[in-house]
Structure 1
């Protein structure tokens, strides 16, 4: 046997052995999730590493903890599982997962098996979780951070845990004094009484260490756009972190301060020639520098701020809005003159509203005189989705039978022209608590209308409601990358290109992008994608020399030939969860991501080939006009309009960039908007931003921020509006609203 043959055999053996080991690991992790102690014991007896990690650094103990499987947790701990191993993405240990889940028995078991209690975190989590039994156990075991735990309990108004801490531990006079200051500030009489009973006294009023340097007051920003505001309140210097309540600062020495009612945090100012340059926050040895924002002085030669003018006119040609956010997802409707002001609660400029049953984030689309949208009706009448700013990963508990429907509505009257039942049954995949079973927006070319109903499949109708074909796309189990069994559901919408409909199906395994014949539903091409779950819709960039199909996803942003499915180029790094849709403007392609480990904004030049990624140290390259690795947004797709790129955070943080250079023009927070999921749209010098609960906010387009008005809808709004023919169409939780300009 020659050496080459021997080498090939060795490689085959190693590859096969590696696959076997991977399979065994998968079985091991799955058994931990499913409370399968029999399989776990068998694998442990065969020598599997009890702490074997997933690509994200998770262990079987983490999965068992997440599922609350106490028997499995105890088995793994007895076999040597380490409760202090942290995953490589979130940086959480199994012990912290147990504390977050408030699972008392698992927490106790981990403490007895060597869980690390030498930092403040465990005790703080136990206080936040309102777990007095765990607080008691941690303190008795010598956990660190008792002072901070007491202050946390005081700020949370938890008098029971405050009393418990005071009963089982002996605190210093200084700690009791600081606690009483905090309780007095919060005006909690029962906690004040408990502290006074154990001898706590307010500190004696000290002589002033000098007048506060008023130049310290202002706004400070870090490189990742975190924000600190300093102020003077009741003769004390205060600090607020990213909109938090104000904390009083106590001067220690020089320009170094501590927080009066929070231990372990110092704030130090850097002052050069009596001018504050920056401040540094130090918490447990971790430091972050914030630079003072300096307002530019106004001069007589300053350019006068351009006053907002609401452009009006006659619509020459009504715009079709054929897919998610219109044409190529650009969201622009110039010349359609939608209303500036409207109010569904008062009927102001309300042309009509039509009740649409079910739960859906599917956005309205428009062709000529018809509006199309889809929905999913649960037989569970209590089914709902949660709105607001939160990070829950657990799927909604709605496993009832559903009916999926497509609606066609008259644009001018709101009359339902036809409705068709596409599917009926129990959903094949669970949904995110903020999602629905009808997240995808339909698409039309004026002859056919195509809708994806998640894992139920894709259906094509003609515009009269006659079904032309349907396609099973398989199980589209998009979900949490960290634990693939946690399903959140499909959201990417279909798009039409020529005579094909293209779908991006990124899921837990075997992701793909494919094109199907619009007339027959037959597959034209299908390309496998080594991608994890994503939720953005693909976009077509139409260039002078070639068209490019752009996808936003975790491992790579990619460009394809839309006629063949051949990959043209790829780009990284990107966020681990991608939701936004790519857009194009002035021969640049814009893609954003708003989830760790990076939150990029890319301005991509079309025409690339192969891997067009650039070095971390660079902000531009051959096919990258500009990029930033921070500042990308999570849910809403950005909008590029009249030379500017606008990104919107879930919290209403609106940032404007020069689209060609990436120069930041402003970053402001939309007033009274709270949370945002829908994407912005634009028309005639106005930007429309749909808040989840507060209505639609209108902002003047351009490099200077000016919020014009907010228009109440009176319903939760998660879908992106459509604009056409002087009208704006807004989908609420229960109705489709049409507003006109009068």
Structure 2
């Protein structure tokens, strides 16, 4: 399951303070946790003697014992237990307990069971499934498992695992009984293969024992809990629900505690792998170019109606390719355009390898090379590089993610000046001829997703320009803030502290009927700010463990979304909000929130509002269309492709979705899904395209490509 891949993130990341650092309880907790991570028993004891709460939790339910079990040092676990630590504290992200995290170390299992650790049934299922006889035997000897759990574990264990089966049988496990034929016949409608948006396959079968899911050599037996609803035997707080339409299964929801994953009938709607649209008439229309001044264009909308980009092209043959210009280095920043100038940033030198795809590896790229952090200006019509300026040269202060770059932040321009941010390497402003106007040292912007440096992910928030100022959102491991800098000279106009853990979202300007405000998205809260003073206007509780998408704004509503646990929220906020506008537990709307959902938010790509609809795309290529005003889901369809980081853009009735593998899929706008074309760029694509003057400007790993009818 996905939590297995990402579990290691939590060892340090979730210890990041989301409350003011001056809080003595937070400081005591973090001192204790730092000592636990280091395995320093003397410092742990000292921290507890100074008043540290051994069972202190953060907002995600992480405790010192939870961290100790993750690290695996038995002496630390024993010390914490002796000082009153709860041996069964379950986190609120991946729902792990100290016991469930210790199933690879026999001594820790014995110590925790002796202390009365719960979650025994899950430990039996997991140990048997892994074929780990010593751990299984320790759990069976040290605690009492439910009969249903023993029977389920025996059913799931292959006949070849004779020792595991013998241990379970000795503990009292029995073969599952045969289910009534009438029930089995009724459940046949659920049998089949289902696929998640991340490509995982869930195979459902009906056997003599009832409903069974099969994955590789493992199998899980289920019991009915209601119409179309089942629960796996011996697994706590889990369920499998089949959603039907016209007597056909359209979606399967797998839940565990508050986490859920959606599966769809495999092969029910084949996705074309090649362009399906008719060839376009050659020759471009006369289009007045519209500027694309920042990430996703004007006010971050991603919409460029009237710019008439092509529907189909072929990078290999050159069909509808106006020009292709190699860009040195590695950068995921997007092209910005003003008039006939295109601007990019890049980090030149060092290791340029990327690990694309959907995975949970949190590691950073270790590279001590000297890099040149550059701003590049190209001619929009010809692709010729007009000038390149090196803003900073040196070894990066912060590492990058395996999928990231040292030039993640998209530049911003007002038609006379270009502002480029390189995170810890500074903020820079140039004129259109490449003259450096000013620079601002931002200090070290540590957007790690952990307190431990090995999990550094790099900075990614793009600057935006509003009137005479540059707005920059900096959500860090400590001392997060949002600030405004003078566009004229870089002087700081205001700074507002933020009680946030790291996020990678950019701010956006919301021009609504009541006022103009800056909207930000982050893990703990979405917020609105007065652009003149930096005063916080409102905040909305979100609690999504990592936040990347930028707010999406229309005059009527502001949309903020996130796609990581404990929730994957989508909220639509009305203009004029003040104070804390968070929804209560039983609410889906209130005075200031038009509608809200706790499931369905995308993790990486920013959504898009086009015409009357809100479109999201998940990392695995699942596109969902909502009625923007109400949040009503209109369709959810797999668009194809392996993984997505770039955000969608739209123009002239079409949506453009760019996969990491360099395939741009064109979907017809509207309440019904229709794939129009699949266009291959022939290279990795991580950046969101820009649209201007009849062309789509696509940044690949190694080049900038202008896609346009010639």
Q: TM-score range by the shorter chain?
A: 0.7 to 0.9
Is the aligned partner of 1:637 residue 2:587? no
Counterpart contact for 1:259–1:266, Cα < 8 Å = no
Which residue is 1:194 aligned to?
Answer: none
Counterpart contact for 2:127–2:135, Cα < 8 Å = no
Which residue is 1:224 aligned to?
Answer: none
Is the aligned partner of 1:249 residue 2:199? no
Counterpart contact for 2:99–2:123, Cα < 8 Å = no
Counterpart contact for 2:187–2:206, Cα < 8 Å = no
The 5 Å alignment of 1:244-283 reads 244-250=201-207, 257=211, 262-267=219-224, 270=227, 278-283=228-233
The 5 Å alignment of 1:460-609 reads 460-480=429-449, 486-609=455-578
Q: Secondary structure at the match of 1:540?
A: strand
CA distance in 1, matches of 2:576, 2:355: 42
- Aligned equivalent of 2:297, options 318, 321, 326: 326
25-34 or 115-124, larger mean C-alpha shift:
115-124
TM-superposed CA distance for 1:165, in Å, is 3.3
Pick closer, same or farther for the CA change 1:84–1:570 going to 2, 3 Å.
closer
Pick closer, same or farther for the CA change 1:330–1:109 going to 2, 3 Å.
same
Counterpart contact for 1:148–1:262, Cα < 8 Å = no
CA distance in 2, matches of 1:269, 1:58: 34
Counterpart contact for 1:325–1:681, Cα < 8 Å = yes
CA distance in 2, matches of 1:521, 1:340: 41
Which residue is 1:24 aligned to?
Answer: 28
Deviations 1:677-714 (A, max 9, x none): 11100011110001111511110001110011211122
TM-superposed CA distance for 1:72, in Å, is 4.4
The 5 Å alignment of 1:268-667 reads 270=227, 278-283=228-233, 284=235, 286=237, 288=239, 290=241, 292-295=243-246, 314-379=285-350, 381=351, 384-480=353-449, 486-667=455-636
Pick closer, same or farther for the CA change 1:710–1:152 going to 2, 3 Å.
farther
Counterpart contact for 1:556–1:572, Cα < 8 Å = yes
Q: Secondary structure at the match of 2:591?
A: coil
Deviations 1:355-384 (A, max 9, x none): 2233322111112222111122353x4x53
Counterpart contact for 1:123–1:143, Cα < 8 Å = no
Deviations 1:11-68 (A, max 9, x none): xxxxxxx955543332221122234343224335667554444443323343345456
CA distance in 2, matches of 1:615, 1:45: 38
CA distance in 1, matches of 2:289, 2:107: 64
CA distance in 2, matches of 1:403, 1:131: 50
Pick closer, same or farther for the CA change 1:263–1:592 going to 2, 3 Å.
closer
- Aligned equivalent of 1:696, options 653, 656, 664: 664
Deviations 1:300-346 (A, max 9, x none): xxxxxxx9899986243112111001111111111111111123244
What is the RMSD computed on CA atoms of the aligned residues? 3.7
Counterpart contact for 1:117–1:143, Cα < 8 Å = no
71-80 or 503-512, larger mean C-alpha shift:
71-80
Pick closer, same or farther for the CA change 1:568–1:118 going to 2, 3 Å.
closer
Which residue is 1:60 aligned to?
Answer: 64
TM-superposed CA distance for 1:480, in Å, is 3.0
Counterpart contact for 1:251–1:258, Cα < 8 Å = no
Counterpart contact for 1:511–1:531, Cα < 8 Å = yes
Which residue is 1:124 aligned to?
Answer: 126
Which residue is 2:164 aligned to?
Answer: 165
Pick closer, same or farther for the CA change 1:135–1:440 going to 2, 3 Å.
farther
Pick closer, same or farther for the CA change 1:412–1:104 going to 2, 3 Å.
farther
Counterpart contact for 1:404–1:422, Cα < 8 Å = yes
Counterpart contact for 2:154–2:174, Cα < 8 Å = no
Which residue is 2:264 aligned to?
Answer: none
TM-superposed CA distance for 1:166, in Å, is 5.9
The 5 Å alignment of 1:108-257 reads 118-121=120-123, 124=126, 134=135, 162=161, 165=164, 209=181, 213=185, 217=189, 230-231=190-191, 238=192, 240=194, 242=196, 244-250=201-207, 257=211
Counterpart contact for 1:649–1:676, Cα < 8 Å = yes
TM-superposed CA distance for 1:485, in Å, is 8.5
Q: Secondary structure at the match of 1:262?
A: strand
Pick closer, same or farther for the CA change 1:137–1:698 going to 2, 3 Å.
same
CA distance in 1, matches of 2:406, 2:443: 15
Deviations 1:259-294 (A, max 9, x none): 587345224663xxxxxxx33445436364736432
89-98 or 64-73, larger mean C-alpha shift:
64-73
Which residue is 2:268 aligned to?
Answer: none
Pick closer, same or farther for the CA change 1:93–1:357 going to 2, 3 Å.
farther
Deviations 1:197-242 (A, max 9, x none): xxxxxx9xx999479757963xxxxxxxxxxxx24xxxxxx46474
- Aligned equivalent of 1:97, options 98, 101, 120: 101
TM-superposed CA distance for 1:514, in Å, is 1.2
Counterpart contact for 1:361–1:438, Cα < 8 Å = yes
TM-superposed CA distance for 1:650, in Å, is 1.4
680-689 or 315-324, larger mean C-alpha shift:
315-324
The alignment's TM-score, normalised by the length of structure 2, stands at 0.81
CA distance in 2, matches of 1:461, 1:368: 16
Q: Highest Rg: 1 or 2?
A: 1
Which residue is 1:734 aligned to?
Answer: 702
Deviations 1:85-116 (A, max 9, x none): 223443222343344xx567766775677655
559-568 or 351-360, larger mean C-alpha shift:
351-360
| Structure 2 unmatched ranges of 5 or more | 1-21, 249-275
Which residue is 2:4 aligned to?
Answer: none
106-115 or 634-643, larger mean C-alpha shift:
106-115
| Structure 1 unmatched ranges of 5 or more | 1-17, 179-202, 218-229, 232-237, 271-277, 298-306
